[in-house]
Chain A
Amino acid sequence: MVNELELDVVIPKVAKALAETLFMVSLSFFLAAIVGLTLGIFLFATRPGQLLHNRVAHTALNMMVNTLRPIPFIILLIALTPVTRALIGTSIGPSAAILPLTIAASVGIARVAETNLVAVDPAVVEAATAAGARPLHILFGFVMREALGPLLLSLTFIFVALIDATAVAGAVGGGGLGNLALTYGYQRFDYPVMILIIVVLIGLVQLVQFAGNRLAHRFID
């Protein structure tokens, strides 16, 4: 059982871990959104019949994404340890988790962005072309805009997956809720704390999903 005294100790720990998780997720999501959306737009635009139609570039980008995507996150994390250490100076802690998280999320975002852009009705492009719009304007002002609703839902999905991935990173020394759960639940068999962490995670995911849905539906109609 969790007694009064233990709660006093546990709540600040959970709060600190939550802050670490939010830090890792937000920063890596922000960086991955920039990298991933850029990659996704290029993946789309280099397709046959599109603005930058270029088979070589498309194949190269595609291969890069296809190579990175199937690697399980835990393996990517370990494989990147030397790079992380060289770049950040350490391979443990929340900051060190940012690099693998960003890479994993970038390729995920690249793929979902491409998928959402491809799904836009070609009639949208046809009508914009017939109205005399420029190619770049068509890509950003029409295709991207039409894809925005579904894209926000996909980004929400990636955001939730990142929360999941930080727990994995936490398990191997990344800090955050995953690390805390491992310490209390696995090493000390303190299930009440474990359950508290699970409740916090569920609440967090619900909140993110709710916000993502709300935002996306403003653009879906």
Chain B
Amino acid sequence: MTQRIRLSGVSKEFTVNGTKSMALDDINLTVNAGEIYGLIGRSGAGKSTLLRTINGLERPSSGKVFVDGVDIGALDANELRELRRRIGMVFQQFGLWNSRTVYGNIATPLKLAGWKSQAIRNRVAELLDFVGLGGKAFARPRQLSGGQKQRVGIARAIANNPSILLADEATSALDPQTTTEIVDLLRSVNDQLGITIVVVTHEMDVIGRLADRVSILSDGRVVETGDIHQILAQPNHPVSGALVGPYTRTALTEGEKSSLRNQFRGRRISVAVGQHLDDDPVISRLARQHHIDFTIIQGAVARVKDQPYGQLNLALLGDAADLDRFVTELADRVVVTEW
């Protein structure tokens, strides 16, 4: 796998009114070409600062940032501007230039990169199509909804065919429906154009739908890095657990369990739902095979990067011996806990 971005021992210290604070503390991470990399953490964790070191908007106090193998700290001002033209960036508050039309906003990075005017016209038309804003070329940013503004932001960011897109809370100012649309757009930017994306967000839901791999930040440190499914299934650090918890919360508390025990007096099990349930409808298949029934009494299943993820709690009804066989065979396929 080609490495697109590598941060090696990156630290950033800010001095405010004479007091120093570490916004980033010895960050090491690698983003591979073509992946969507998520950075998640609470407010003030250092996510934006970290993202901004990648296009040199923020200079690390120590450590190095490599983009396509080049140490960007060693670039002169001109080379840094060249690099920035090959890295797109989208912002939470869109950062559009209100004095320019939609067309002007998208054309500007192309002008900066020295495109010819005919080529610019064609490219802007193509981009407006891609982001679904065909008729809006001569609208002013203020006339657009938040979702439309972010579409312009994305079109502007990918105009000059960058290899990297940096997205800082790109959906945090949007409602859930619009968030979904922007998430889908970012996915097509990644799928169809092959652009590597680094997404910063505090919305676990967005990370779950977008990211291939994730780093969790807390107080300027990376506390955990891993595959999105692995982090959701098994957060190792308390901060990860706290972030992931509300999104995947399916485990029942002891209080809930005891009241459910009164209500459903047979056997009760929790079943972890994952990829295998897409390939094999194991629960209903075994239920039919062993002539048992079940009621879903609680649960949640979300799709994380196109795979189901969650937990279901079932109350089982049937002959005791059949139930034994059902539970045993089910436990061979998925994680089952009886309570």
Q: Which residues of A does B touch, CB under 8 Å?
A: 121, 123-124, 126-134, 142, 145-146, 148-149, 219, 221
Q: Contact at A124–B97, with CB atoms within 8 Å?
A: yes
Residues 85-138 (chain B) with a chain A CB within 8 angstroms: 85, 87, 89, 91, 93-100, 108-109, 112-113
Q: Contact at A219–B99, with CB atoms within 8 Å?
A: yes
For this complex, 15 residue pairs linking A to B, each with C-beta atoms less than 8 Å apart, are A123-B91, A123-B93, A123-B95, A127-B91, A129-B84, A130-B55, A130-B84, A131-B108, A132-B82, A132-B113, A133-B81, A146-B97, A148-B99, A221-B142, A221-B143
Q: Contact at B112–A126, with CB atoms within 8 Å?
A: no
Q: Contact at B84–A149, with CB atoms within 8 Å?
A: no
Q: Contact at A130–B57, with CB atoms within 8 Å?
A: yes
Q: Contact at A131–B91, with CB atoms within 8 Å?
A: no
Q: Cβ of B91: which chain A residues have Cβ within 8 Å of it?
A: 123, 126-127
Identify the closest chain A residue to B98 (Cβ): A146
B141 CB to nearest chain A CB (Å): 8
- Per-residue CB contact flags for chain B residues 138-179 toward chain A (1 = under 8 Å, else 0) read 001011000000000000100000000000000000000000
Q: Cβ of A128: which chain B residues have Cβ within 8 Å of it?
A: 97
State the interface size on chain B (CB cutoff 8 A).
26
A-B pairs under 8 A by CB, number: 57
Assuming A134-B81, A148-B99, what are 9 further A-B pairs, CB within 8 angstroms?
Answer: A123-B93, A124-B95, A127-B91, A132-B82, A132-B85, A133-B112, A146-B97, A146-B98, A221-B99
Q: Which residues of B does A touch, CB under 8 Å?
A: 55, 57, 81-85, 87, 89, 91, 93-100, 108-109, 112-113, 140, 142-143, 156
The CA-CA distance from A142 to B109 in the complex, in Å, is: 12
A131 CB to nearest chain B CB (Å): 5
Known: A132-B81, A132-B82, A134-B81. A127 touches B96 (CB 8 A): yes
Q: Contact at B109–A131, with CB atoms within 8 Å?
A: yes
Q: Cβ of B55: which chain A residues have Cβ within 8 Å of it?
A: 130
> Of A121, A130, A148, which contacts B89 at CB under 8 A?
A130
Q: Contact at A127–B89, with CB atoms within 8 Å?
A: yes
The CA-CA distance from A149 to B96 in the complex, in Å, is: 16
Q: Contact at A131–B99, with CB atoms within 8 Å?
A: no
A16 CB to nearest chain B CB (Å): 42
Q: Cβ of A148: which chain B residues have Cβ within 8 Å of it?
A: 99
Q: Contact at A127–B97, with CB atoms within 8 Å?
A: yes
Q: Contact at A146–B99, with CB atoms within 8 Å?
A: yes
